[in-house]
Structure 1
Amino acid sequence: MYIRDAHAETDLGVLRRLIHENPLGILTTGIKSPMYSLLQSSHISFLLDVQDQSSETELGYLRRHMARQNPQSKASDFRPHGPCKLEGKFKMSQEMSKGDRDGVIRGFENLQSETEYDLAQIVRERGELKDKQQ
């Protein structure tokens, strides 16, 4: 995944919390098969098991559930593997100027729903983090 510096999140605690709060992910594989398309994608729930939540270095272990009938399940090795890295990004207008970000925030707030208010707050927080780094 390409991650611009402006969007990169390097705090493992933040990334682990993001996975915990948003467990739905997409598993994409390339499996040669005469019966199925080469690329297969499935929406599945992921659980990130972390032994020590206060650790600043522990990546944890990803667990998932997938139906046995799913062609990806039949062709995948789902024995426990620890991740070799954990990376992520927040693309929340933080690369924009403060005026542009304020416009994005107002736009979300004008939609007047809980989800949009939450998004406006994230845009605000990520912008403030960017401003502190400068």
Structure 2
Amino acid sequence: MYLRGDHAEKSIRVLRQLVRDHSLGVLTTAIRSKSSPFILSSHIPFLLDVSDENSEEELGVLRGHIARQNPQSKVLIEAAQASPTPNVLEDEVLVLFTAPAHHYVTPKFYTETKPATGKVVPTWNYAAVQIYWDHKSDEAVSFLSKQISDLSEHAETSVMGYTGTADKQQSWKVSDAPERFIELLQKNIIGIEIKLDRLEGKFKMSQEMSINDRKGVIEGFANLGTETGHAVSNMVKERGDLKDAQRR
């Protein structure tokens, strides 16, 4: 990942939180196979496990699962079986997580520089995290059962807000479905475990611009009157304020 100083996020805790808040990742592999393309990608919802939530050192472990019929699954199984270490890939893998609020930035938003010099060009504001390193494929029933249960609980409570408290609905649980039905589904998936070696991320939110240009960007996005516009406007202000505070 290209990390310009103005945009790079150094806090491991912040990067981990972005992954958890926007947990649909894109798993990318580059593995030689006679039966599949060299580069493959799949959208997979992940869980990020850490033992110490306050740690700025611990990167964590990603857990997910993928359909056995997916060509990428077949390549992963093939490579893992050929590995000197059982079920562990020798090849590096990449997982990309992106915040849903991103937007084109028109030069018209730069209310200071555009009128003064005209030396402005369009860009795109976004936030993303990239995760690297080795992958373990796991077909054990115990791993898959825990993975499915934990992922469902995370999505039902953290994403949907079904906590069962006050006026909130009760969350759906794996045990709500017939046991035999779940057993059959588990036979059609493989588990994925990724031990993080590198965790990199950026919030590209106009931090490199002057305060007045940033104000123009904040107002410009807010005036769009859209949910995404307001979300990006808030992120530009938040990241700009953080940058200004760090400079003091």
| TM-score for the superposition, normalised by structure 1 | 0.88
Which runs of structure 1 show a deviation greater than 4 angstroms over 4 or more consecutive aligned residues? none
Select the structure that is richer in strand: 2
Aligned to 1:89: 202
Listed as ranges, the matches of 1:3-18 within 5 Å are 3-18=3-18
Shift, 1:126, TM fit = 0.5
Rounded to whole Å, the distance in 2 between the matches of 1:39 and 1:74 is 13
Structure 2: distance between partners of 1:102 and 1:96 = 10
Change (3 A) 1:12 1:131: same
Matched residue SS, 1:73: helix
1:131 counterpart letter in structure 2: D
- In structure 1, the partner of 2:213 is 100
Instruction: Pick from 242, 245, 248 the counterpart of residue 129 of structure 1.
Output: 242
Q: Hey, what does 2:72 align to over in structure 1?
A: 72
Aligned with 1:56: secondary structure? coil
Matched, 1:109 2:222: yes
Supply the distance in 2 between the matched residues of 1:8 and 1:98 (Cα, whole angstroms). 19
Alignment of 1:28-47 (within 5 A): 28-47=28-47
Residue identity in the other structure for 1:5: G
Distance 2:34 2:58 in 1: 40
Please state how far the C-alpha of 1:109 moved relative to its aligned partner.
0.6
Query: Identity of counterpart residues, as a percentage?
Result: 55
State the alpha-carbon separation in 2 of the partners of residues 81 and 40 from structure 1.
16
**Structure 2 length normalisation: TM-score?**
0.50
Shift of residue 49, structure 1, vs aligned partner: 0.8
Rounded to whole Å, the distance in 1 between the matches of 2:40 and 2:200 is 22
SS class of match (1:65): strand
Offset from partner CA, 1:93-116 (integer Å, 9 cap, x none) = 111111221121112111212332
User: CA separation of 1:81/1:42 partners in 2, compared to 1, >3 Å: closer, same or farther?
Assistant: closer
Following superposition, the deviation at residue 68 of structure 1 comes to 1.0
The two structures, once aligned, show a CA RMSD in angstroms of 1.7
Amino acid at match of 2:211: K
Secondary structure of 1:8 counterpart: coil
Q: Which has the larger radius of gyration?
A: 2
Alpha-carbon shift at residue 34 of structure 1 (Å): 4.4
Residue 33 of structure 1, CA deviation: 3.7
Deviates more, 1:122-131 or 1:40-49: 40-49
Distance in 2, matches of 1:107 and 1:35, equals 50
Q: What are structure 1's unaligned runs of at least 5 residues?
A: none
The answer to which of 14-23 and 27-36 deviates more is 27-36
Q: Is the 8 A contact 2:218 2:233 kept in 1?
A: yes
2:63·2:194 contact (CA, 8 Å) conserved in 1?
Answer: no
Distance 2:46 2:220 in 1: 32
Cross-structure match for 2:52: 52
SS in 1 for 2:67: coil
